[in-house]
Amino acid sequence: MSILLKPFITKYNTAPFQSIKNNFFKPAITSLIEDTKKEIDVIVNNKNTPTFKNTIEALEYTGQQLDRVTSIFFNLNSAETNDEIQKIAQDISPILTEFGNDVTLNEGLFKRVKHVFDNKEMFDLNTEQNTLLDKKYKSFSRNGANLNEDKKHKLRAIDKQLATLKLKFGENLLAETNTFELLITNIEDLTGLPEGAMEAAKQLAESKDKKGWLITLDYPSYIPIMTYADNRELRKKLALASGAKGFNNDALDNQNNVLKIAKLRFQRAQLLGYKTHAHFVLEERMAQTPEKVTSFLNELLEKAKPAAEREFANLQDFAKELDGIDQLEKWDSAYYSEKLKQKLFNLDDEQLKPYFQLEKVIDGAFMVANKLFGLQFKSINTIDKYHKDVMTYEVLDEKNELVSIFYADFFPRSGKRNGAWMTSYKSQYIKEGHQERPHVSIVCNFTKPTNSKPSLLTFNEVTTLFHEFGHALHGMLANTTYPSLSGTSVFWDFVELPSQVLENWCYEKEALELFAKHYETNEVIPMELVEKIKESASFHEGMQTLRQISFGLLDMSWHGIDPSNIEAVKTHESNVFKDTSLFPDVSKNCMSTAFAHIFQGGYSSGYYSYKWAEVLDADAFEYFKEKGIFNKQVASKFKDHVLSQGGTENPMTLYKRFRGQEPKPEALLKRAGLIK
């Protein structure tokens, strides 16, 4: 346990994964909470008049070891969990919530923070210090510091319940994903499936001592079936299983968790004086109000819906002509879309995959980062990993100085949740003149290499890798004084700009030539394929946009109203989806019970931010295209005004400093082919 109680004596102060045992976490976190309380007591009991330095800055640097240990623990709970870790998470989440409340409801501490806040003009603060002061003050006021004792007590109880419910929601979802296995014993049932997917399914079956082909709900297994399997009944079976996650009225059901989370969030917002949870959340976002979000989504809906309906009608006609399908169902969407895409563009993922070997795509992302920002990535094997599949790198600048440590974890396994994300094991900050560099990680779920083939990515997976790598660059290139303002610690509807803008390089000939090379012949991807990728980029963009809007509206429907009268999750959801639905509803399926982004992750009242950030990224990339996609001047402006600045200033101020103007939605609508 003692290994977790002090800064790590390792190369670059990296996490000593191999020396940490699961049973170290709970006692270490409990002990570090006590240490942090003592640090806070020193601030509270300081007899000197509160100043920025002795109160705000002192508070910023409390609990640093606690932050490191909890980040390691919760990152493991997402990427390499097991029953023991999940049990510890259930135990420590309420303890950490309670501690967070102890801090924000500490009257003596708030009194000092408020004194500095009320007298800020006396302290001659710079922009970053002003932002930190504002953030610290709001961390109290937005968490109940101005409430009376009775209301503070209620707030603590709500926060404790929410911490447990969110964990339970995520555990149920992971268990549902892991529980489902479909063994196929007749090869005819898998007609249409690409050879690589067949081989992966066979290897998975063998790994579990089964004969045949094993299909699961993990994306690398699920997506090829939905996209390529000719067997409609098989697609239906998988789609129904996936769509019913958390909605089976059994021990893993999430309906009650959804209702409780939504209602508790509303009660919490009301206690704090906000109309709804969305009003509370959006106060700290670029969008600012639920009304603005809803109007933004509806404006996009107006532009996207006619295109989506045209695309759907074409797809329906195509399926009827091809296979006599009278009614397109949800499990037909990816399959016939892929077939139509092949017909229109003579392009399919299987044609592209040989050019996207994982290792080469990683190198490609590194080369793009080198050309834009002068970064070098060197593989390092002298630091600990939490799993043998994890790749580790030193990231250096042009002067060979350390910029960051980078972890990359690409393959699915049973202890890892689905999807892709970027996270951090250590923040960047500057303390007493010393520059602490960050430790950044990206986690994905790509197809593993098989006995005969390396890991070959679909084009969608290529853009996913670049997306998460964009987040990683935001973390790596951070250059702020304070850890809580560093890297991706920005407004939630701004955080997707660096990730989404980087996806654009995947469509550019100049970038693709760096890494899109055939895994057997090393031949560069033919330019006609590049042209087809670009042409097909806006294929079914209306339908895709409608889908994203529907998720954003669902999020706002749970969080932008009083949900007290909602009794049935499915009924509520069906009402919300009526303006955005194209496919017939499936009564046994429910989106909310598996909507981890908003009920487990941090996207509640924030799902709209993907589309919001797309407006920013389309506008930003237009600037790169005007000057050249590897233009050093534009890249430097992006690094200096966006990537390095974290949350030190209002994001619109930072964006305008980079771009010279506010973003215009026209760039996105044009790119999506929704306007000429």
Q: What is the pLDDT of residue 1?
A: 58
Question: Is 468 designated active site?
Answer: yes
As a whole number of angstroms, the distance between CA 657 and CA 642 comes to: 9
> Where do the H-state alpha helices sit in 180-218?
195-207
Helices 25-44 + 83-104 axis angle, to 10: 10
**What b/e readout covers 573-587, taking b as 16+ CB neighbours within 10 angstroms?**
beebbeebebeeeee
pLDDT at 267: 98
pLDDT beneath 70, residues of the chain: 1, 676
Q: What are the structure tokens assigned to 332, written together?
A: 């037909």
Q: Tens digit of pLDDT for each residue in 47-102?
A: 999 999 999 999 999 999 999 999 999 999 999 999 999 999 999 999 998 999 89
Give alpha helix (H) positions in 355-399.
358-373
C-alpha torsion angle, residues 339, 342, 345, 350 (rounded to 10): 140
Q: Cα dihedral sign for 362, 366, 372, 373?
A: positive
Pair 105, 159: CB distance under 8 Å: no
Classify burial at 331, counting beta carbons within 10 Å of its beta carbon; exposed 0-12, middle 13-18, buried 19 or more.
Answer: buried
Candidates 185, 191, 335, 162; CA nearest to 265 is: 162
Residue 428 phi, psi dihedral angles, 5° rounding: -90, 140
Q: How far is residue 461's CA from residue 297's CA, in Å, rounded to a whole number?
A: 26
Extents of the domains making up the chain:
2-146, 180-243, 255-325+541-597, 354-483
Q: pTM to 2 decimals?
A: 0.83
- 408 by DSSP, 3-state: which? strand
Q: Which residues pair with 402 in a beta bridge?
A: 396
Q: In the CATH scheme, what architecture does the domain 354-483 have?
A: 3-Layer(aba) Sandwich (3.40)
The reply to whether domains 2-146 and 354-483 share a CATH topology is no
Residue 247 has a pLDDT of 98
Report the topology of domain 2-146.
Answer: Glutathione S-transferase Yfyf (Class Pi); Chain A, domain 2 (1.20.1050)
Give the distance from CA 355 to its chain's centroid.
26
Q: Catalytic pick from 468, 573, 614, 622? A: 468
Neighbouring CB atoms inside 10 A of 11's CB total 12
